[in-house]
Amino acid sequence: MKSALKEIAVGFNSLITGMRITLGQFFKRSVTLQYPHESLKMSERFRGHIELVKDPATGKAICYACKLCERACPSDCIIVEGAKLDGAKKRSVTTYQLDFTKCSLCGSCVEACRDGAIRFSHDYNLASLSKEEFVMDLFKRLETEREEEERREGKPASAVPVAVKPEAAQPAAGQTKVEVK
């Protein structure tokens, strides 16, 4: 009898303690975000999929297709092709294919690159209904970006520069499938 009463008292006490903690939460600030309407800024070192870096002087890709990244990749998801263009001293990249379905975002490619020609993008809203959209040609992507920028600069000064939206994975139109080595 006595122990049963004691148990009730202890049980009631633990109930009150729990309720007090829960009640306290009502007066605390909310820690969540309403995601599609608000989103967090990605940290500086966030590892998204890789992208090519532009040379600020020429506006073209720094990459000259040395293929170090291709060799460093543990999942064989990068295929780089380069060619020596007429009148150029160095080779330059012509295709930079990233199969993002195979990529594990380890960053070995970025570390292997000696010239800082690739970096992590901050894109994280990557969703698609088809697998092919994740096979991206980063070189083409960079070129389209550059062309768009040039077009914008070419416009009269009255045109308000539109903030560049973080692009989602660009559908690689007309791209052939990656051959498995």
Show Cβ contacts of residue 151 under 8 Å, excluding neighbours closer than 6 positions. Answer: none
Per-residue contact flags (x/-) with another protein for residues 13 to 52, judged by CB under 8 A: -x--xx--xx--------x-----------xxxxx-----
Q: Which residue from 83, 85, 88, 105 is in contact with another protein, where contact means CB under 8 A?
A: 105
> Least separation, in Å, of the C-beta of 47 and another protein?
4
Q: Is 10 in the site for another protein (CB under 8 A)?
A: yes
Nearer to another protein, 43 or 158 (CB): 43
Nearer to another protein, 54 or 122 (CB): 122
Which of 181, 89, 94 has the alpha carbon at shortest distance from 137?
Answer: 94
DSSP 18-81: HHHHHHHHTTSPP----TTTS-PPPPTT---SEEEPBPTTTSSBS-----HHHHH-TT--EEEE
Instruction: Please answer whether residues 55 and 62 qualify as being in contact, where contact means their C-beta atoms are separated by less than 8 angstroms.
Output: yes
Interface positions, 52-91, toward another protein (CB under 8 A): 72, 74
Provide the token pair at 102. 């195979």
Nearer to another protein, 55 or 111 (CB): 111
Site residues, another protein (CB under 8 A): 7, 10-11, 14, 17-18, 21-22, 31, 43-47, 72, 74, 104-108, 111, 120
